[in-house]
Amino acid sequence: MTEFLIFLQENFSVLQQKTVEHIFLVGFSLFFASVFAIPLGILLVRFSFLRQGILKAGSISQTIPSLAMLGFLVPLFGLGNVPALVVLIFYAVYPILRSTYTGLVSVPPECIEAAEGLGFSNLQKLWWVELPLALPMMISGLRIATASTIGIATIAAFIGAGGLGDFITQGLALNNSALILLGAIPIAFLALAFDYGISQIENQFQHRQESRSFRFKGVLLGVFSLAIIFLGGNYLYKEHIMTKKATITIASKNFTEQYILAELMAQLIEGKTSLKVIRKLNLGTTDIIHQALLKGDIDLYPEYSGTAYLTILKEAPNRNGEDILSKVQAAYKDKFNLVWLKPFGFSNSQALAVKKSFAEHHNLQNLSDLARVAPHLTIAAPPEFLKRPDGMLGLSQSYELKFKNVMQVDPNLMYTAIDHEKVEVIAAFTTDGKLQKYQLIPLNDDKKFYPPYHCAPVIREAILTTYPEIYEALSVLFGHINEEKMRMLNAKVDIEGRSPFDVAQEFLAKLN
């Protein structure tokens, strides 16, 4: 407990920033979802021909996975707040819409008849009779929308929109429970705070006999709503202005090595140039990060030649490492206006790994040996590995691997799975620091299936032309990180529990 409090104190300023980002995402999306859903719910009561189609469409919309929605929106809107807000508003609309409609149609007919007898207009009936009586049901829908939005907002971390989800995704990636708690606990408190705020609004509306007090509360609610709009607009404006200044956005995929390499580049550029660095780490798969680079949402990230050759360029496997690297460099420049800088100095090949004791018991040294016992084993692998030509698809053909079960697992949870003997095989990388920690050995690729995976910075040509000092700043890394050094850096994070920022800072201090 003491260690967590110290950790909390060290990261309190970042926690404040991420909490504000999360509140913005939730508040902004709930406000606009309500502005859209409540009038639409009123229209559904008035125009019955709209009712069935819209309510069914809304119900179906809730079954669409939020990550799938993000994957669809990123190519359209890029990374950042816009796709995150679109997704959050999309999922918040239906609970509010449904509860508004249900509440209004549940108003007793005699109440409406009494209002008509008093000469109320349609607008007066709605405002003074129907909405007040429907309010409890509407509030319940808002509560449901709020709870789901606070939870779904954590996925904003996958597309660089910030929020408390950043702590959770980084904690999962680094197997750091303190980071996970740093995100999860504030999210729980936010849910309670939002629910309390909604209950107070409900109480004020339900006890509005004192008209002056009610009007005052209404004014406060209006001011609060305007404040959300202002703060949200200001937040988006500042982000837009920031991207127009002399900045460079550095990104990474969602595993330890990528975090460290991104930090190395970020700290060098911050220290050796006048550019401001924006970090967008943990952006997920190769396809997502490549699309973000093409759209200009990010400017620089570390990539692997074999991955680019097979996944992005979709070329046939080629075992000549230097040939692959030169082809990738030329193709990226011609097709995408992207520049591959000089490699860091190591190749991080994929591998299938098993526990050392398991390999000794079954006499496993090569992947060909694994094929013999694969029908009795379960393998855990990341989603990307299962669909890539240099992953499960290609391995199955080259080695005739047929596993009993194939489990799709987050890259960082694979090690927990094999350590607890839930699986026997995992898809790993040769520079993983966790191999030693969990007593795993990568099986030899005796048929030379895997191409070399030389790691190098990939940058947008326009950025490199505008800021040539970036090349000079990064040049100290070129050829200076071999496999042993990279494995050591990964181990400092994965085994010793240190942050990628500190590990990168220490390495650069020694390098200089």
Q: What is the pLDDT of residue 10?
A: 76
Domain 245-347+452-511, CATH homologous superfamily name and number: Periplasmic binding protein-like II (3.40.190.10)
Q: Which residue has the tokens 């954590």?
A: 154
Show pLDDT as tens, one digit a residue, over the chain (512 residues): 677 777 787 778 888 888 988 999 999 999 999 999 999 999 998 888 888 889 999 999 888 888 788 878 877 887 778 889 999 999 999 999 999 999 998 888 888 888 888 888 888 888 888 888 888 899 999 999 999 999 999 988 877 788 898 888 888 777 678 888 888 999 999 999 888 888 877 776 666 544 445 455 555 555 555 555 555 555 555 555 555 568 999 999 988 899 999 999 999 999 999 999 999 888 878 888 998 899 898 999 999 998 999 889 988 776 555 688 999 999 999 999 999 999 999 999 889 999 999 999 999 999 999 999 999 999 999 887 887 777 888 888 889 999 999 998 877 788 889 999 999 999 998 898 888 889 999 999 998 888 889 999 999 999 999 999 999 999 999 999 999 999 999 999 988 889 999 999 999 999 87
Kind of pairing, strands 350-355 and 247-251?
A: unpaired
- Is the separation of the CB atoms in 437 and 495 below 8 Å? yes
Query: What one-letter code names the amino acid at 196?
Result: Y
| Domain ranges, ordered by start, for the chain | 2-243, 245-347+452-511, 350-442
Topology, domain 2-243: MetI-like fold (1.10.3720)
Exposed, middle or buried by CB within 10 Å (0-12, 13-18, 19+), for 104? buried
Q: Return the number of other C-beta atoms located less than 10 Å from residue 176's C-beta.
A: 20
- Is the separation of the CB atoms in 182 and 15 below 8 Å? yes
CA–CA distance from 156 to each of 24, 280, 282, 395, 498 (Å)?
A: 12, 11, 11, 33, 25
The reply to whether 245-347+452-511 shares the fold of 2-243 is no
3-state DSSP assignment of residue 504: helix
Q: What is the pLDDT of residue 212?
A: 47
Q: Whole-angstrom Cα distance, residue 83 to residue 36?
A: 18
Q: What is the pLDDT of residue 229?
A: 58
In three state form, how does the secondary structure of 344-396 look? CCCECCEEEEEEHHHHHHHCCCEHHHHHHHHHHCEEEECHHHHHCCCCHHHHH
Extract the tokens encoding 116: 């008509």
- Among the listed residues 274, 343, 269, the one whose alpha carbon sits nearest the alpha carbon of residue 305: 343
Exposed, middle or buried by CB within 10 Å (0-12, 13-18, 19+), for 184? middle
pTM, two decimals, is 0.73
Q: What is the pLDDT of residue 391?
A: 83
Architecture in CATH for domain 350-442 = 3-Layer(aba) Sandwich (3.40)
Extract the tokens encoding 242: 């920031």
Give the torsion sign (CA, 409, 459, 250, 233): negative
- Is the separation of the CB atoms in 424 and 378 below 8 Å? yes
